[in-house]
Structure formats: structure tokens, C-alpha cells
Structure 1
Amino acid sequence: MSRQSFLIAILAFAILNGIFSPFRLVAHVIVLAMAPGFFVASPAIVLLVSSLLTATVTIMLGGVPAAVFERVTGRAESDAVSLWLWLAGVALLSLPAIQTVIAIAR
């Protein structure tokens, strides 16, 4: 698998998690706490920003196992193993969202 394929798969899982994650409610609260006067006027903006926040946090937290692996093994740059670890981390974080998508599809 090429590097771009890994990144596309990681982004796809993160987008899926950003849209369908049950933890997006936490992101709603964070977004509303940041600027309540601005975001209360437009619920669509709250949904967009909370989805982006959830997807971004998914990518960052999913990369932690890969970063630890690279640090422990002393690798200078990411290779296929660390990209697989990153993809697996993001996929595990996206499991609740995947279950939601499956429940909606039935």
C-alpha cells in the first residue's frame, strides 16, 4: 500500500468518526463554550466545527501508538509499519461511529 493510500484511509476513518461519533456531543459543548454568542446563532456552524474538532482529535490520538513505536525503535521517518499502526489506532477510535453507521443502514 502506498503512503497516499494510508493517508486516504486514515482521513476516511477520521471523517466518518467526525460525522457519526457519539462523542461529538463533547465537541458541541467545547465549541459552544469557546464562543457562545457567535455559535448559538448558527447551529450549522456548531455541527461543522464540532465534526472538524472530532475528526482532528481522532487523527491526533490515533497517531500516538505510531509515534511511540517510532520513538522506541529509533526510526527517523514513518514506514509501512508505523502507518499501519496509525491506521489501526484511528480505526479503533472510529468503532463507535462505525457501529452507528451500521445501525442507521439497517
Structure 2
Amino acid sequence: MNRNALVPIMAVAIVNGIFSPWVLAVFVLYPIWYPAWLPPYAQLVYMASALILSTLTIMVAGIPAALHERLGGTQNPALTTSIWLAGALVLTLPALPNVMKALGLGA
């Protein structure tokens, strides 16, 4: 797979990590996953929460692409990347209202 093909997937995952409504749930649960030796500053916890959601988006969106590659029989990197990007876009749909508000387009 071409490394440049991962750029749009990572961009969508970053947007999902920052604007997802699930970032609040990860943020609130920081005592479970946040290292005790780091200072619990809200900015650090939020950044780590967004990073967790971004990584989770990439991982979960890659499952259908991996299944297609494993079960499909044909090796088509462009189609696999398209499936992966589509999965990331579907996972980012709940974040769209927050993105629109941040851009000044929402109510």
C-alpha cells in the first residue's frame, strides 16, 4: 500500500478524535487510562483523549478493509484504501455537527 494513501485516513481520524462526542467519555474516564506520574492538566488529558479516539478510529475503520483483503482473494490496494477511508468517514459522522459548529456553519 502506498504511504500517501494513508494521509486522508489519518486526517479523517484526527478530525474524529478532536470533534467526536465520545471524547467527553474518554476524558471523564481518564483516571482509568491516564498515567499517574503525569500531571492531570485538562489540556494534556484532552489531547491524550483525542489521540486515543483517533487511533481507535484508524483501527476500527481498518477492520472491513482487512476482511476484504483476507476474504476477497484479489489484491487491489486502491480498493482496500477506499474501504478503509469509507469506514473512517462513517465513524466520523457523529462528529460532523461539532465540526460544523467549529467552522461557524452550525447553530
TM tier, smaller? 0.7 to 0.9
Give the whole-Å Cα distance in 1 for the aligned partners of 2:42 and 2:69. 41
Q: TM-score, normalised by structure 1?
A: 0.83
Unaligned runs of 5+ in 1: none
**Count of residues paired in the alignment:** 104
* Deviation for aligned residue 1:53: 0.2
- In structure 2, what residue type is equivalent to 1:68? L
Give the superposition deviation at 1:58: 0.3
SS of the aligned residue for 2:40 comes to coil
Deviation at 1:57, TM superposition (A): 0.2
1:58 equivalent in structure 2: 57
What do the CA deviations read for 1:12-59 (whole angstroms, capped 9, x no partner)?
Answer: 100000100001122213432224755663111110110100000000
What is the match of residue 45 of structure 1?
Answer: 44
CA RMSD of aligned residues (A): 2.2
Q: 1:86 aligns with which of 84, 87, 90?
A: 84
Q: Which runs of 5+ in 2 are unaligned?
A: none
Question: Which has a greater percent of helix?
Answer: 1
